[in-house]
Structure 1
């Protein structure tokens, strides 16, 4: 048993405080049918929600398994200390005013530290959180209304926003919720540890995370690994931007990588499905609960409307979803059932000729479900129950159930609008083992995510140490360092006296490139001139630059394309590698892809193929292709430096790529100082 099991599955509950919040916790426990003991602690009141309080924590008849602390922040610290002393199983700290409010209250950090000392080894969730709902066992350490019901199995949700968590419990989509937990400011116990505890329950089928940030990268990686071992998928909805994304003044890489790209890369690496909205979050979790992860996103779409068939095809455009064409045997079976008028295709508009004929609909749905279909989708919108009747709609559901049983392939019932699938129907479908999907856009996203989830890209993850910025290296210094790790760089000479330019030009060999040393964004500052053919032109160019120190470099010729190769230390997600169209086009084209270190040759090659400029790399319309292996080797050289020296940031822009190699024409490094 891990240290949180007692807290999340208690046999006894204590409520500290007699205010409205604590009283509501008691009412909600009674409402859901909590079967254990409920004790209240209050120094003066004689009744709290029908319970006679104990005067002090020390007076409780036994150490409680779970405690809701609903008193002010200073009294919370004292209560935690008393609970830890008697061996309580854990506590929810409802009060705010700790580190999350450090800008508003001067003692916020100090009070949080006092809370941690008071807790010792006793688990504490929060502060500044609502607590949790356990719908499996009927436990509600929750000071407000919620919309859930007891279930036999379901998904677990963890949210970094208590209000979002409340809203999620109010869903009417038929998604069974096993747990809903909030984490507050995660002073002691983070979402990763909570996630591992909830996933360990065999009645939990999947985990949903509403994230504003990752509590601890090492713990998060362990959570993902635990989920894979258990075969239980994780879906994340992440919001928020880190300061990392605001450092565009330093480099292009920071603006391209940012927190959002880092999150995408991390989730892909760990096999966590990322969604874009709360609606898609719920629909994806529902799909995973009923069906499980999809091997691939191959779909058989069926509806009695050409409009719905077209919408389905359009919604899937740009995603990984495909609609495999019908085989000859499928077409033959469908023709026998649907007659000569219906155009046979996938998505299928089966018209209304068979509406109300359960046998014909079951035969049609079965014929569409070939073995290469990961999921069937029958589009069905129910009429309003307050104004209309729906006697024939149940026949469609029966036909879906029969076809699913006959083919052994999952078939979903999809309402094109969320409100067009009544909750009682959705709940009944889940009970029958049929997936109800609500909303076409949300459903399409859910299908695409369910086909990716649980498939990590690569093995292992480099969790960086604590690193603080040390110093920026000059371009010449950066290139020298990187050359030592195998990165090709141009021949060059650093000049601090303009009179030495002529000798430098001869040493490097014309034509050359002249750069003003120590100037950021050289092109914009007029501090770079390319293709200088002789000494006189070199001197003229130097006199126009806003600097007195220079870098004279070999002119790289036979260049097909320029790339950006950058790595940024994102404390929340690890080292984020960005590959992008480079040079002056880095931000204009916004053509980039990001990966989490470490990467291998195969991952780099795949990432290059995802860029919009990939056709140019591969030789567009008969043109020469670049040396892809040289690019891969250059990226691996950069990675070797990063993992050995743990800098804050490194950028190669541009990496000059031609048919016979790849050379770093410019380099930026901000070194890091370890604080292990």
Structure 2
């Protein structure tokens, strides 16, 4: 793919078509102050929005750096081909009715393929997208109103939804936005290529993503690494809780590791901050623009109200946000400024004794971050400028600016409501290097997202094309394959009929477990009987089952905890490794965590210990601890199996964990090229 520079920062623009949308593109470029050439192309009109029109692309005086194609979907193909032949730098394909409409239009998929062929090596955005805005180059390849103003530096927002992109340009929270790009169907130029091109622009401080799905996993992984090396944070909001990874599965793993879990695991692994709503996306981008990545989530909170201090503490409950306790040195320093009446704590209510005293407030703010906190947060709601004076509130800003200069620590000013942070104030704060944040919940969510990013030490993701002829292996074959990679399994043997099952049980040694094979979710079907102690019991149990094919296994005793260990291919995010409470607790507790394959032993250990069931693993209420190394060995063996075979899905449930063992009591594998016999 050739560079996107000409498309993103064009010096000449061609607008093809004559409808309202095309007229808006010309008008928005004028309004934005675009200083380059604008050419119109229309078959019958002599002008479009006051710009003289050429009858064809071939008649243009040169190859445009960028083109907005505003004609119907069929005509779009010919226009794009002509632009490519002309040597244009790229095109926005506005029309819809391509692959996004496959359910409604029979030719939608073929038409999108034809569009890709027509474009050749010329970059195209879309189809089915609005285009792009570049506020540092005064470019508006955009068929509608927008809320951006020219800036020298700011964040870039890349969105699959054009309407959401428009809405984000209308924010009044002070976020400086340098670029907005919509990607539509990502027919040819995908999200990852666009984001990588934006990273190379020094005017871009951070990137925000509003996405439904990724274009290419490897390309996205490469983009994230470039962002990390460039020191530019990426904040993502992913929508579309797709059932991709749950389709045609027969295990608990897939339901636990759906597309949202895969996306979250991918973002964590790649060091991308994930948020769950639009207000938090904007707050996180402000923080990313002004501060960058936070080394941790330790905060010093200051307010002149006990209610605000308590609200801060309550909002942080359940989040990965901490308020470091004040040291004796900090307390002594604060006492000298605040006197004896103020209770010293973090969050701090510094009362109103020093209100209006810039020096005292500055020293207070400085002392509060003179400890473990990496971010100072001053709660301040501004009065209505149309009815009240802000003079005293401006002194707080001056004090925060002084504290920031003295300590070298980042500071933010947090309003409890967006309405109490006027846009002019937010813009002034950012110019001073202070983060203007709106809303306790959104602000703390943003801090949590940007301060909880793990270092990038993971190996490249395991990504292979899906296998053909996927079949489900029976339990015996599944266990045998896992055993080949180091998973410990019970002594077992298959049997046909009740008599043979009884003979096998005697050979293995009682007590035994009897399982009916070829049955999904055996427990629910009554196809698992534990603790059989003699031949008669085995025969009776076998005769009650809805099958005459059995697996007889030794009975594992001394189990302390049960886990689920599973991997499922997520078409969008790679192979999702799920760790969860196992056995009958899997669905009851919904206690799970997801990673991606391969994950390091240390990452797996950390994730495993984050589960509620970890208390059983490590010894709960005087019970012995499980052999955690044996559990980790098993998980490594499962990952090795996935990477060595055309696996679609693996589930061990339960993995029986004891003081000196981890044994796969039940296993299921869906794999290419395997029969189900």
Q: Check whether TM > 0.5.
A: yes
Q: Could you list the per-position Cα deviations for residues 151-179 of structure 1 after superposition, in whole angstroms to 9, with x for gaps in the alignment?
A: 11011110010001001101111111111
Compute the displacement of 1:235 (Å): 0.8
Contact 2:330-2:371 within 8 A present in 1 as well: no
Give the match for residue 172 of structure 1: 172
Q: What SS does the corresponding residue of 2:268 show, helix, strand or coil? A: helix
* Distance in 1 separating the partners of 2:268 and 2:537: 50
* Distance in 2 separating the partners of 1:557 and 1:461: 37
Contact 1:564-1:580 within 8 A present in 2 as well: yes
What's the TM-score once normalised by structure 2's chain length? 0.98
* Distance in 2 separating the partners of 1:346 and 1:2: 53
Q: Could you list the per-position Cα deviations for residues 549-598 of structure 1 after superposition, in whole angstroms to 9, with x for gaps in the alignment?
A: 11111111111111100000001110000011101111111111111010
Give the match for residue 110 of structure 1: 110
* Distance in 2 separating the partners of 1:672 and 1:233: 39
Contact 2:242-2:258 within 8 A present in 1 as well: yes
Contact 1:272-1:456 within 8 A present in 2 as well: no
Give the match for residue 280 of structure 1: 280
Compute the displacement of 1:524 (Å): 1.0
Give the match for residue 521 of structure 1: 521
Contact 1:247-1:255 within 8 A present in 2 as well: no
Give the match for residue 349 of structure 2: 349
Compute the displacement of 1:599 (Å): 1.6
Does 2:438 correspond to 1:445?
Answer: no
Q: What SS does the corresponding residue of 1:250 show, helix, strand or coil? A: coil
* Distance in 1 separating the partners of 2:647 and 2:630: 23
Contact 2:505-2:512 within 8 A present in 1 as well: yes
Contact 1:363-1:403 within 8 A present in 2 as well: yes
Contact 2:511-2:554 within 8 A present in 1 as well: yes
Contact 1:7-1:66 within 8 A present in 2 as well: yes
Contact 1:268-1:457 within 8 A present in 2 as well: no
Q: Could you list the per-position Cα deviations for residues 171-216 of structure 1 after superposition, in whole angstroms to 9, with x for gaps in the alignment?
A: 1111111110000000001000000000110111111111111111
Compute the displacement of 1:464 (Å): 2.5
Q: What SS does the corresponding residue of 1:253 show, helix, strand or coil? A: helix
Compute the displacement of 1:646 (Å): 2.7
* Distance in 1 separating the partners of 2:495 and 2:317: 55
Give the match for residue 381 of structure 2: 381
Contact 1:646-1:672 within 8 A present in 2 as well: yes
Contact 1:273-1:453 within 8 A present in 2 as well: yes
Contact 2:29-2:138 within 8 A present in 1 as well: yes
* Distance in 1 separating the partners of 2:147 and 2:592: 42
Does 2:289 correspond to 1:289?
Answer: yes
* Distance in 1 separating the partners of 2:113 and 2:377: 53
Counterparts in 2 of 1:228-243, with a 5 A limit? 228-243=228-243
Contact 1:12-1:66 within 8 A present in 2 as well: yes
Does 2:486 correspond to 1:493?
Answer: no
> Segments of 4+ in structure 1 off by > 4 A?
none
Q: What SS does the corresponding residue of 1:13 show, helix, strand or coil? A: strand
Give the match for residue 203 of structure 1: 203
Compute the displacement of 1:237 (Å): 0.4
* Distance in 2 separating the partners of 1:638 and 1:329: 51
* Distance in 2 separating the partners of 1:63 and 1:14: 9
Q: What SS does the corresponding residue of 2:15 show, helix, strand or coil? A: strand
Give the match for residue 433 of structure 2: 433
Does 2:161 correspond to 1:142?
Answer: no
Does 2:33 correspond to 1:33?
Answer: yes
- Comparing 94-103 with 463-472, greater Cα deviation is found at 463-472
* Distance in 2 separating the partners of 1:632 and 1:338: 53
Q: What SS does the corresponding residue of 1:529 show, helix, strand or coil? A: strand
* Distance in 2 separating the partners of 1:241 and 1:373: 36
Give the match for residue 69 of structure 1: 69
* Distance in 2 separating the partners of 1:454 and 1:537: 53
Q: What SS does the corresponding residue of 2:53 show, helix, strand or coil? A: coil
* Distance in 2 separating the partners of 1:364 and 1:537: 76
Contact 2:134-2:179 within 8 A present in 1 as well: yes
Unmatched runs of 5 consecutive residues or more in structure 1: none
Does 2:271 correspond to 1:266?
Answer: no
Contact 2:498-2:538 within 8 A present in 1 as well: no
Q: CA separation of 1:319/1:457 partners in 2, compared to 1, >3 Å: closer, same or farther?
A: farther
Compute the displacement of 1:247 (Å): 4.3
* Distance in 2 separating the partners of 1:318 and 1:401: 31
Contact 1:469-1:648 within 8 A present in 2 as well: no
Counterparts in 2 of 1:347-496, with a 5 A limit? 347-453=347-453, 455-456=455-456, 458-468=458-468, 470-496=470-496
Q: Could you list the per-position Cα deviations for residues 40-87 of structure 1 after superposition, in whole angstroms to 9, with x for gaps in the alignment?
A: 000111221111101100000000000000000011001001001110
* Distance in 2 separating the partners of 1:306 and 1:645: 60
Give the match for residue 316 of structure 1: 316
Give the match for residue 43 of structure 1: 43
Compute the displacement of 1:498 (Å): 2.5
Give the match for residue 17 of structure 1: 17
Give the match for residue 97 of structure 1: 97
Contact 1:468-1:648 within 8 A present in 2 as well: no
- Comparing 30-39 with 228-237, greater Cα deviation is found at 228-237
* Distance in 1 separating the partners of 2:383 and 2:457: 44
Q: Could you list the per-position Cα deviations for residues 112-146 of structure 1 after superposition, in whole angstroms to 9, with x for gaps in the alignment?
A: 11111111101011000000000011001000011
Give the match for residue 591 of structure 2: 591
Does 2:657 correspond to 1:657?
Answer: yes
Contact 1:271-1:457 within 8 A present in 2 as well: no
- Comparing 23-32 with 242-251, greater Cα deviation is found at 242-251
Give the match for residue 577 of structure 1: 577
Give the match for residue 510 of structure 1: 510
**CA RMSD of the aligned region, Å?**
1.4
* Distance in 2 separating the partners of 1:325 and 1:664: 45
* Distance in 2 separating the partners of 1:564 and 1:131: 45
* Distance in 1 separating the partners of 2:128 and 2:602: 45
* Distance in 2 separating the partners of 1:561 and 1:35: 69
Unmatched runs of 5 consecutive residues or more in structure 2: none
* Distance in 2 separating the partners of 1:561 and 1:79: 64
Give the match for residue 644 of structure 1: 644
Q: What SS does the corresponding residue of 1:638 show, helix, strand or coil? A: helix
Q: What SS does the corresponding residue of 2:621 show, helix, strand or coil? A: helix
Compute the displacement of 1:383 (Å): 1.3
Q: CA separation of 1:336/1:469 partners in 2, compared to 1, >3 Å: closer, same or farther?
A: farther
Give the match for residue 633 of structure 2: 633
Compute the displacement of 1:468 (Å): 4.2
Q: What SS does the corresponding residue of 1:181 show, helix, strand or coil? A: strand
Q: What SS does the corresponding residue of 1:550 show, helix, strand or coil? A: strand
Contact 1:159-1:183 within 8 A present in 2 as well: yes
What's the TM-score once normalised by structure 1's chain length? 0.98
* Distance in 2 separating the partners of 1:43 and 1:453: 54
Q: What SS does the corresponding residue of 2:503 show, helix, strand or coil? A: helix
- Comparing 545-554 with 245-254, greater Cα deviation is found at 245-254
Total equivalences in the alignment: 674
Counterparts in 2 of 1:212-223, with a 5 A limit? 212-223=212-223
* Distance in 2 separating the partners of 1:57 and 1:270: 43
Contact 1:380-1:413 within 8 A present in 2 as well: yes
